[in-house]
Amino acid sequence: MPTTYQPDEVPAWPAYAFVVRGSGQVAVSGPLLPACEHPSRTSAVDAVAAAAAGLGRPVRAEATEPDGTVWHLVISPDGAVGELSGGAPRGRAPKKRNAPTPAQAQAPAPDPVVAAAPSATPSPAPASPGGLPVASDALTEGVSQLETHAAAGRMDQATALAAQLDQHAADSLGLSHPDALRTREARARITALAGDPVGAVRLYRDIAERWHYQGADDQAEAVASRAHALWLEIPDLETAIAAGVAMVRMRNQIPGENGTAFAATLQHQTWLEAARNATVRSAAAG
């Protein structure tokens, strides 16, 4: 028997929609995944299971059959399919994700494409067009999962999830929305921890500039200072010089009190380039 989950055991975000075509193909849509058609139920479930694995927990899904039957499901990171209790499904949850019942196999495809039914459990806040709740609680949960992955040394998972959260927040809320910027800042931290300081500095630069354009000077300076501190810790000359290009651009717009931060940035970048040139000359002479 499939596992039955209570609504309070599986957060309302993210939630996915499966639409099963008469041909057997399955359209999948939802947060952190590109909307696309899958050749089978197994492939569709695997795609959502991968998103669940990034979060480290089961996620909700609703599957609409060609005859209109709606299944309220829970997909685990390992691909196991369970049932969400209280979802008022019109039918039983399937025991196997890739084994349709005879009725499903024989059902003719209806003329219109049946859309997924709404979840029986309301989301914690109104959803944006991209499907991500606007409330910060949903983003906070995702960011918390990033920190969990990072603390456990699962940097590949943390990096992938950070990129997905950043992209989805930007698509749903807008690139310069405060929650989107905070989500991108979490991505910048993870990027630095994953060993890509240049990528992290560029992300911080983008965030700081967007705060600056909104007139949020305190936020802009706080993020710029984090980028500056990270830059100064880069030991490799070439890497530091590459990050310095982004730093000079950012500090030109966010120069700090009396322009001191901009002046310090130019001075450090000049020192890095001189040190690099001296190293090249020394190697050539030796």
What's the pLDDT tens digit per position in 73-97?
Answer: 999 988 888 888 865 444 444 433 4
Evaluate whether 18 touches 27 at the Cβ level (below 8 Å).
Answer: yes
Evaluate whether 165 touches 139 at the Cβ level (below 8 Å).
Answer: yes
Evaluate whether 59 touches 48 at the Cβ level (below 8 Å).
Answer: yes
The answer to whether the Cα torsion of 200, 209, 220, 252 is positive or negative is positive
Separation of alpha carbons 252 and 104, rounded Å:
63
Query: What confidence score (pLDDT) does residue 117 get?
Result: 29
Query: What confidence score (pLDDT) does residue 234 get?
Result: 94
Query: What confidence score (pLDDT) does residue 105 get?
Result: 33
What's the pLDDT tens digit per position in 62-71?
Answer: 988 888 888 8
Instruction: Identify the burial level of 77 via C-beta atoms within 10 angstroms of its C-beta, where 0-12 means exposed, 13-18 middle and 19 or more buried.
Output: middle
Query: What confidence score (pLDDT) does residue 42 get?
Result: 87
Q: How many other C-beta atoms lie within 10 A of the C-beta of residue 143?
A: 22
Q: Give the mean pLDDT per block of 10 residues along the chain (286 residues).
A: 80 86 87 80 88 85 86 88 69 40 35 28 34 54 84 90 86 84 93 94 93 91 95 94 93 92 95 92 81
Asked whether the bond before 14 is cis by omega within 30 degrees of 0, the reply is yes
What's the pLDDT tens digit per position in 238-269?
Answer: 999 999 999 999 999 999 999 999 999 999 99
How many residues are recorded in the chain? 286
